[in-house]
């Protein structure tokens, strides 16, 4: 892991968005937009170049301050981090252009709305820092950067429901990060290091490790809105400005999932048991059923999409039981399904990020056109806003998991892993989730095709808004085209593909 | 003998925490929180963490306490009975301690989950105690920190960690203060910050501020410089300078309007920005981000600390002024200046 | 429990403080107390870190946890100040002074 070559790219992935974020502070609203857009383009370029370099070299590292761990902090851009950074860049650039157009065309926004730009670029830097960090305490600081800027974005609309949801989100976030930090303190006390690589070599089973595992897992689950700690998400994501909902649901909740995945696969393997995996899998299955059911029963489009996030995040949790080997299973045999399970985790993350951000952006278009997002706003959408209706259709198909979308590939891999590992009991939950998702997606589409009444308003919408939503919906389909290359890149380095052997830790088959 | 002091402090901090959460009125809650913070500061001094003690007393108890007290103007006017009824505070702390200290509860709602919650809390405390008391001795990083101290450019180990070994964390943390400030601006008063000054000259505070402000400034500067050798440094200095700003603001000096807007922006971002750019500047020589040449490390660190302290102090003053203004009835209509 | 060392006393206290704060976050209904409760949780975490630093002291206490705690305090106060600002803005807009964050 540390045998990757040293490079400046990991440092630039954090420094560039922050440089532009600081720049935007000095401008008034219009200048903020242009400098913010420039920052988004620059960060996307840096991400692309950094990923290209990582593909060439297999991975990159950067010793901050020139100090080796455990004294210093290591940034490492390995394949898994590269894929998440790529996801952030693609979603980020599309949402940035959408936001520029949206913030300029809306005149009922509070004056502070132009603070979107510094907060969003800080958030971007924090996310990149989270994906790159190889240090437990630095992860805490990155989590806080992401958490505070995310809540700052969430309350930009300035309306009381958004402020209320934001306050609750913030309290959950603070509680979650304190819980995480207590785990960090215990691990530091027990093993004298914060570096993930050194820690994974040093960690031993015992009460302290188990307790740290529980605290950190619960803290991160709360921040990711994993069932049953999801209660804050629907009101928050349902009341934000559309570009913010897109960013928060696509990227921010994935950040803490990424940390959770890494911690389980790289650090806590020795203390995990088969039962722990089953428990978290049950949470996932319950989230899929409960979230989809709730989505079916919502009246407002944004709330349907927000509840759907709870369900789609549940699929990510169902990956964990498939990574942990039952007692007596040989690691060599497990390679059949661990690789599928990891693929499912990555592809579910990517397809949900693109599909969900596309849906929130499309919902924003509908709110502009119709003035609200109740069911009637969807009537006759196909005729009035064909591009937006098409985006909703594509994104909905990907969420449901119909071929040939990215969401289909993720769910297919999840089913394959469940059957191959003998844990067939996850399959009904995956299928039921898809049926329920199909239910609310077709409910939306049925309304979109239904003839509208003439009094439905249809105000003009800037072209760029619809294009951004469509671009992301298309992306959620086309990610399966390079699937083979992406997976072989990911497989070149741990933890991707490793199985968690209880009592031993993550092992590559 | 001295063990008893520690046991007393530990017990007192727990008791204050529980009382603070169960106090019948919000005002009592805030004052108990103050006392709790100061007790903790003493505990940290006992554990040899003087830097932490200063930081906690100044920021944790002091600054946040002032913000909480200021917020009481909004929330305390509630008739105390209403607060109790509406809260139905279910004796969280007393559940943890197993004694309901006569906190009024709304019978129907709170009585039901009390027993399972109490049991859960006791089990959780036992588990936590088991986890922390039987913790393996990891040895920490003291030895490494000591060995490399000569290469860090400063003589005080905590400053070496904060501004050299783990300066990336510290940099991001200065960023968190800035993000919180931006987020607060985004929230309050419809996203505008009027930069109004406290118009009324306070007859008591004004003469006090004439004497106290320069003293605070000098002590802050002294702590900043001291950080190279002894406990002290950017954060401690920042809070003293921030306290100076708040005092001057409350006394009626034109703190928020004496500088043009752009200078405020420079002041608020300088610490974060220069910290990063200096780190990047030395990368051109082939080094890593935040790696300083040893010959200049000491001076560079002092420069970074000074700017970081100024930025944080400015942010604390601005946050306080902003908070203070939120109470003004016409605050919503004030246009941006 | 013979000859409990100083750091162990404070470690025990840190566990109790963390639990108290956590219970407070869940059981307090007024947001004001919830903010204070998260600060008490944080105090528990920081106390455990400083205790470990004392345990690992050689010539001086382990500086890494001390630095972590100073960073953590500043971060936690920033977040708490933001939460307070949000709450005051809600009060300003709705006029409620004892709202809770329950759904």
Question: Domain with C21 in it: what CATH number?
Answer: 1.10.287.3510
Would you say B30 and B83 are in contact if contact means Cβ atoms under 8 Å apart? no
- Residue C31 to chain B, least CA–CA distance (Å): 10
Q: Which residue has the tokens 């009835």?
A: B329
Average pLDDT over residues B113-129: 73
Reported ipTM: 0.94
Average pLDDT over residues B316-321: 89
For residue A91, is it within any domain? no
For residue C102, is it within any domain? no
Nearest CA in chain C to A189: C52
Whether residues B179 and A142 touch (CB distance < 8 A) is answered with no
Closest CA to A187 of B223, B121, C64: C64
Residue by residue, pLDDT tens for chain A (509 residues) are 457 888 899 999 999 999 999 999 888 878 889 999 999 999 999 999 999 999 999 999 999 988 888 899 999 999 999 999 999 999 999 999 999 999 988 888 887 788 999 999 999 999 999 999 999 999 999 999 999 999 999 998 888 889 999 999 999 999 999 999 999 999 999 998 999 999 988 888 888 888 899 999 999 999 988 888 888 898 888 888 999 999 999 999 999 999 999 999 888 888 888 888 999 999 999 999 999 999 999 989 999 999 999 999 999 999 999 998 888 788 778 888 889 999 999 999 999 999 999 999 999 999 988 888 888 888 888 888 889 999 999 999 999 988 888 999 999 999 999 999 889 999 999 999 999 999 999 999 998 888 877 666 778 888 889 999 999 999 998 898 898 899 999 988 878 888 888 877 777 77
- Residue C10 to chain B, least CA–CA distance (Å): 6
Judged against a pLDDT cut of 70, whether residue B191 lies above it is answered with: no
For residue A286, is it within any domain? yes
Read off the pTM: 0.92
For residue A34, is it within any domain? no
Q: What is the pLDDT of residues C15-55, one digit of tens each?
A: 899 999 998 888 887 888 899 999 999 999 999 999 998 88
Nearest CA in chain A to C96: A160
For residue A44, is it within any domain? no
pLDDT score of B114: 66
For residue C45, is it within any domain? yes
For residue C38, is it within any domain? yes
Which of B288, B334, B337 to mutate against chain A (most A CBs within 10 Å)?
Answer: B288
Judged against a pLDDT cut of 80, whether residue C4 lies above it is answered with: no
SS3 assignment, position A77: strand
For residue A313, is it within any domain? yes
Domain boundaries, chain B: 1-107, 142-337
For residue C77, is it within any domain? yes
Burial C78-90 (b: 16+ CB within 10 A, else e): bbbbbbbbbbbbb
Given B43, B92, B97, which is nearest C47 (Cβ)?
Answer: B43
Tally C-beta pairs within 8 A across A and B. 166
- What residues contact B203, with CB distance under 8 A and at least 6 apart? none
User: What total of structural domains would you count in chain C?
Assistant: 1
Domain of residue C7 covers 3-94
Which of C11, C57, C84, C102 to mutate against chain B (most B CBs within 10 Å)?
Answer: C84
For residue A141, is it within any domain? no
Contacts of C94 in chain B (CB under 8 A): none
For residue A335, is it within any domain? yes
For residue C44, is it within any domain? yes
For residue C100, is it within any domain? no
Read off the pLDDT band of B197 (50, 70, 90). low
- Residue A274 to chain C, least CA–CA distance (Å): 28
Name the neighbours of A, counting chains with at least 3 Cβ pairs within 8 A.
B, C
Contacts of B173 in chain A (CB under 8 A): 141
Domain of residue A329 covers 273-509
Given B128, B140, B283, which is nearest A8 (Cβ)?
Answer: B283
For residue A364, is it within any domain? yes
């Amino acid at each position: 892991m540390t045998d990757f070559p040293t490079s400046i790219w990991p440092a630039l992935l954090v420094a560039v968005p922050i440089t532009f974020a600081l720049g935007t502070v000095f401008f008034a609203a219009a200048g903020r937009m242009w400098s913010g857009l420039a920052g988004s383009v620059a960060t996307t370029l840096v991400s692309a170049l950094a990923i290209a370099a990582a593909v060439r070299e297999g991975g990159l590292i950067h010793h901050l301050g020139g100090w080796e761990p455990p004294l210093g902090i290591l940034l490492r851009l390995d394949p898994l981090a590269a894929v998440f950074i790529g996801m952030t860049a693609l979603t980020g650039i599309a949402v940035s252009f959408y936001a520029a157009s949206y913030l300029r065309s809306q005149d009922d926004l509070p004056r502070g709305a132009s603070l979107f730009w510094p907060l969003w670029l800080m958030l971007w830097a924090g996310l990149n820092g989270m994906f790159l960090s190889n240090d437990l305490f630095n992860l805490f600081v990155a989590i806080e950067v992401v958490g505070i800027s995310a809540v700052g974005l969430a309350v930009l609309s300035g309306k009381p429901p958004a402020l209320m949801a934001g306050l609750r989100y913030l309290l959950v976030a603070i509680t979650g990060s304190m819980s995480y930090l207590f785990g960090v303190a215990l691990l530091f006390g027990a093993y004298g290091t914060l570096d993930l690589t050194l820690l994974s070599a040093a960690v031993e089973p015992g009460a302290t490790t188990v307790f740290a595992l529980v605290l950190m897992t619960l803290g991160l689950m709360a921040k990711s809105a994993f069932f049953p700690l999801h209660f804050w998400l629907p009101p928050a994501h349902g009341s934000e400005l559309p570009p913010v909902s897109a960013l928060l649901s696509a990227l921010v909740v994935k950040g803490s999932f990424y940390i959770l995945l890494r911690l389980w696969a790289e650090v806590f393997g020795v203390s995990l048991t088969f039962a722990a995996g089953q428990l978290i899998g049950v949470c996932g299955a319950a989230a899929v059923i409960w979230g989809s059911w709730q989505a079916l029963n919502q009246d407002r489009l944004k709330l349907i999409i927000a509840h759907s996030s709870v369900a789609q995040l549940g699929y990510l949790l169902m990956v964990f039981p498939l990574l942990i080997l039952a007692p007596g299973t040989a690691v060599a045999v497990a390679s059949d399904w661990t690789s599928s399970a990891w693929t499912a985790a990555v592809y579910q993350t990517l397809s949900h990020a693109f599909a969900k951000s596309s849906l929130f952006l499309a919902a924003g278009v509908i709110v502009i056109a119709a003035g609200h997002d109740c069911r009637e706003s969807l009537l006759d959408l196909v005729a009035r806003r064909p591009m937006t209706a098409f985006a909703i259709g594509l994104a909905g198909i990907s969420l449901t998991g119909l071929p040939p979308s990215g969401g289909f590939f993720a769910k297919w891999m999840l089913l394959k892993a469940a059957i191959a590992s003998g844990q067939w009991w996850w399959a009904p939950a995956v299928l039921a989730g898809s049926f329920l998702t199909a239910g609310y997606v077709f409910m939306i589409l049925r309304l979109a095709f239904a003839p509208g009444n003439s009094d439905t308003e249809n105000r003009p919408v800037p072209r760029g808004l619809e294009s951004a939503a469509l671009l992301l919906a298309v992306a959620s389909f086309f990610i399966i085209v390079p699937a083979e290359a992406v997976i072989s890149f990911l497989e070149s380095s741990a933890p991707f593909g490793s199985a968690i052997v209880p009592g031993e830790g993550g092992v590559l088959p | 003998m001295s063990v008893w002091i520690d046991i007393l402090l530990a017990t007192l901090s727990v008791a204050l925490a529980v009382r603070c959460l169960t106090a019948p009125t919000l005002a009592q809650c805030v004052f108990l929180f103050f006392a709790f913070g100061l007790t903790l500061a003493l505990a940290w001094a006992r554990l040899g963490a003087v830097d932490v003690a200063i930081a906690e007393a100044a920021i944790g108890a002091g600054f946040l306490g002032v913000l909480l007290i200021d917020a009481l103007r909004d929330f305390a006017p509630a008739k105390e009975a209403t607060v109790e009824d509406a809260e139905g505070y279910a004796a969280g702390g007393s559940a943890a301690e197993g004694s309901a200290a006569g906190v009024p509860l709304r019978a129907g709602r709170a009585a039901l989950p009390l027993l399972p919650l109490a049991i859960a809390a006791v089990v959780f405390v036992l588990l936590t105690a088991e986890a922390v008391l039987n913790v393996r001795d990891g040895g920490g990083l003291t030895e490494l920190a000591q060995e490399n101290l000569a290469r860090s450019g400063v003589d005080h180990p905590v400053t070496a960690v904060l501004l050299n070994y783990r300066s990336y964390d510290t940099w991001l943390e200065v960023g968190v203060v800035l993000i919180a400030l931006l987020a607060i601006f985004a929230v309050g008063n419809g996203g505008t910050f009027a930069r109004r000054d406290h118009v009324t000259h306070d007859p008591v505070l004004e003469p006090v501020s004439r004497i106290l402000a320069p003293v605070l400034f000098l002590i802050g500067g002294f702590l900043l410089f001291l950080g190279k050798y002894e406990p002290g440094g950017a954060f401690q200095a920042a809070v003293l300078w921030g306290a100076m700003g708040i005092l001057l603001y409350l006394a009626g000096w034109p703190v928020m309007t004496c500088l043009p807007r752009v200078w405020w922006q420079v002041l608020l971002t300088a610490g974060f920005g220069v910290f990063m750019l200096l780190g990047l500047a030395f990368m051109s020589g082939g080094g890593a981000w935040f790696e300083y040449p040893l010959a200049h490390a000491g001076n560079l660190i002092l420069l970074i600390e000074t700017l970081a302290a100024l930025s944080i102090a400015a942010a604390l003053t601005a946050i306080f002024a902003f908070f203070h203004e939120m109470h003004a009835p016409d605050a919503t209509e004030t246009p941006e200046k | 429990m013979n000859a409990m060392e100083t750091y162990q006393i404070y470690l025990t206290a840190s566990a109790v403080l963390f639990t108290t704060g956590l219970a407070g976050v869940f059981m307090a209904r007024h947001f004001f107390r919830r903010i204070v409760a998260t600060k008490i949780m944080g105090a528990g975490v920081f106390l455990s870190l400083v205790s470990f630093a004392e345990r690992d002291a050689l010539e001086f206490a382990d500086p890494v946890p001390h630095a972590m705690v100073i960073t953590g305090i500043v971060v936690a106060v920033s977040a708490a100040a933001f939460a307070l600002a949000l709450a005051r803005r809600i009060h300003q807009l709705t006029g409620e002074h004892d709202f809770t964050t329950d759904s």
